[in-house]
Amino acid sequence: MKQTKKWTLCAGLLLGMGLFTAGLENPLKVNAQDGCTVKTLEGNYIYAQDGFNVEGQAAKQRTPFAQSGKEFFDGAGKMSGVFTASLNGQIVRGNYAGTYTVNSDCTGTVTFTDNSGQTFHFDVFIADGGKEFAFIQTDDGVVTAAYERKR
């Protein structure tokens, strides 16, 4: 009796998984969204970001930071923003301006320079027709990724 219950449970799980994936072409394949242009990012966005600046191999050489801000994308490749950041507990406020690109597969890049003269680089991954996107900083010595949403 125990053996029959075990086989019934296994068969049920396999059948359930088969029905779940039946309509999927390839459940592991990532389908890129097509049709994005630089105009896909347009308007005001808000974000929250945190991470570490890394200056060596020891954990004590990783300085934490967090920041929130608002960005404006003009729909033509220029952007600007304002932020408040906590850099290892020290509060800093500022602004920045730069440029961005968007590829037809809804990936892109953002590069900007802040009011202290530092330049930053990001890869972006756009979803929902530009209503939201994820980003990762691509500068050496920084570990951070975050998410933005159109307001």
For residue 115, the 8-state DSSP code is T
Per-residue pLDDT for 86 more than 50? yes
Per-residue pLDDT for 1 more than 80? no
- In this structure, is residue 77 part of a structural domain? yes
Q: How far is CA 114 from CA 12, 35, 137, in A?
A: 58, 31, 15
Q: Please name every residue paired with 63 in a beta bridge, in sequence order, or none if there are none.
A: 53
What does the pLDDT read at residue 61?
84
- In this structure, is residue 26 part of a structural domain? no
- How big, in percent rounded to 5, are the helix, strand and coil portions of the chain? 20, 55, 25
Tally of domains in the chain: 1
Distance separating alpha carbons of residues 70 and 79, to the nearest angstrom: 11
**Is 127:106 a contact under the CB 8 Å cutoff?**
yes
The domain that contains 76 carries what CATH number? 2.40.128.120
Distance separating alpha carbons of residues 41 and 35, to the nearest angstrom: 12
- In this structure, is residue 19 part of a structural domain? no
Greatest C-alpha distance within the chain: 74
Express each pLDDT in 102-148 by its tens digit: 999 999 999 999 999 999 999 999 999 999 999 999 999 999 999 99
- In this structure, is residue 138 part of a structural domain? yes
- In this structure, is residue 9 part of a structural domain? no
Residue 46 sits in which domain range? 38-150
- In this structure, is residue 109 part of a structural domain? yes
